[in-house]
A and B are shown apart, each in its own frame.
Chain A
Amino acid sequence: NAGVTQTPKFQVLKTGQSMTLQCAQDMNHNSMYWYRQDPGMGLRLIYYSASEGTTDKGEVPNGYNVSRLNKREFSLRLESAAPSQTSVYFCASSEGQGGNYGYTFGSGTRLTVV
C-alpha cells in the first residue's frame, strides 16, 4: 500500500542549482498537489493539477514549475534554487472534487538551499 511516494527524502542544494522533486501515486487519483511547509506558516499550496493534462498556480508559485507527466506522476522543479526555498515539500493526491474526498500525503522532501 504505497499511496503517495516522494523522492528524494532529503536534498541539499547550492544557490542557483536546479532540481526536480518527484511524486507518484498509485491510487488512480485525479488531482495532485504540491505544498510547502514552513514554521509558523502551515502548508501553502504551490501548484496543483485537477486532472491529467492540467496544472494551475496555487498561493506561492514563484520560482517553481510543475509537470503532470501522466495520471500517476506530478513533478516539481526548481530552476534556480534560492535560500528562501528551504522548506519541507509535500505532495498530495485526491480522488476528485468536493468535500467527500480528503487528501493522501507523501512523507515529504526536506530541502535545504545554502
Chain B
Amino acid sequence: GNSVTQMEGPVTLSEEAFLTINCTYTATGYPSLFWYVQYPGEGLQLLLKATKADDKGSNKGFEATYRKETTSFHLEKGSVQVSDSAVYFCAFLNTGTASKLTFGTGTRLQVTL
C-alpha cells in the first residue's frame, strides 16, 4: 500500500552544518509531496511542497526535489541554525475524494552551537 519512509532520528548537528533528511515513498501514480515542520509545543506547519516530478520545493533555505526515478523527496539545507531544531515530517497526498495526507514518522533535528 501507499506509505512514506523517512530516516529515524534524532539527528544532531552543529550550527552551520549541512542537513539531509531522507524520505522515500511508495504510491501508485504520481502523488504530491510535502515537508512539514513541527516546533516544540506547536502544530505542524507546511515547509515546502512539490506537485510533479523534477519539481523543487524551497523555503527558508530548505530544499527538496521530487525524484520520480528513485521515489524520493530528500530534505536538504546548506547551513542549519539552532532555530531549525524541530521535528520534520515527510508526507504525500493520497488521490481520491479528499486530500488525505499520509505522513512519515517524523525526524527530530537538534542543532547545537
Contacts and interface: CB of A to CB of B under 8 A. Distances in A.
Interface of A: 4, 31, 33, 35, 40-45, 48-50, 56, 58, 90, 92, 94, 96-108
Contacts of A31: 98-99
B17 interface: no
Given A42-B106, A50-B97, A102 B89 contact: no
B4 to A, nearest CB: 8
18 contacts: A40-B105, A42-B89, A42-B105, A42-B106, A43-B103, A50-B97, A50-B98, A92-B43, A97-B97, A98-B93, A98-B99, A99-B31, A99-B32, A100-B51, A103-B46, A105-B43, A106-B43, A108-B42
B34 interface: yes
B100 A33 contact: yes
A106 B43 CA distance: 6
Interface residues of B, number: 24
B93 A99 contact: yes
Contacts of A97: 97-99
Nearest to A38: B105
Interface string B29-62: 0011010100001111110010100000000000
Contact of B100 (A45, A102, A107, A108): A45
B101 interface: yes
